[in-house]
Amino acid sequence: MENQYITRDLFGGAITAKMPSYLVDASDLRQIPDNQEVFLYPHNDASLIVEVLESVDETDNSKAIKFHFDSLAHDNSAERSEVQEISVIPNDRGDATPSAIVLHGIQYVKKFNHHESDTVNILMALYRVRHKNVDLAVTLNIPVNLETGGEVTEADAGEVTKDFKELVTSLRIEDFELFA
């Protein structure tokens, strides 16, 4: 199924990005913190989060994104996590949006009273807005092995990965006052 991308306004239009039209805005279903925009895939358990975070005191971009990945692993109570790759997608559009530092990783998370850990592939992009002391993180969670079932198939994982790349390359900070 070819995804129909639309440009979505995030944080009241201060940020725009192309995303699949069928993603469900989680704020329609539950309370979401003001510093997050959360989207759910209706046909699998993948989720996409855009989050405004305080900048970490780290000049090395690889260490900065690893810090945020490790923080996510801690928040998820992951038994262990692995970073597989870190790369940069340069912003060559000529606007002021920083280039994206991208991390591919895996987290092993034991949920509730489950016996086995769930395997979750994580794609994270980090935009370092240094003059506002902000790190903007985009995180795609792709559960690929769940004890309870419902994991993302290999074909769906390919599609959501493509969606992540589209979002990351199209993300544009329209109004830096969001980070005031």
Domain ranges of the chain: 5-179
b/e code 104-119 from CB counts within 10 Å (16+ = b): bbbbbbeeeeeeebbb
Backbone angles phi, psi at 51, to 5 degrees: -140, 135
Superfamily name and number for 5-179: Mog1/PsbP, alpha/beta/alpha sandwich (3.40.1000.10)
Pair 25, 36: CB distance under 8 Å: no
pLDDT tens across the length of the chain (180 residues): 456 999 999 999 999 999 999 999 999 999 999 999 999 999 888 999 999 999 999 999 999 999 999 999 999 889 999 999 999 999 999 999 999 999 999 999 877 676 778 888 999 999 999 999 999 999 999 988 765 666 678 888 899 999 999 999 999 999 999 998
CB neighbour list of residue 114: distance below 8 Å, 6 or more residues apart: 147, 148
* Three-class SS state of 126: strand
- For 11, which DSSP code? G
Predicted confidence at residue 147, as pLDDT, reads: 58
How far apart CA 141 and CA 121 sit, in angstroms, is: 6
Label each residue of 15-62 as H, E or C. EEEEEECCCEEHHHCCCCCCCEEEEECCCCCCEEEEEEEECCCCCCHH
> What pLDDT was estimated at residue 170?
97
134-145/47-54 β-pairing:
antiparallel
State the Cα–Cα distance between residues 43 and 142, nearest whole angstrom.
12
Report residue 163 as tokens.
Answer: 């969606």
For residue 137, give both structure tokens: 């993180």
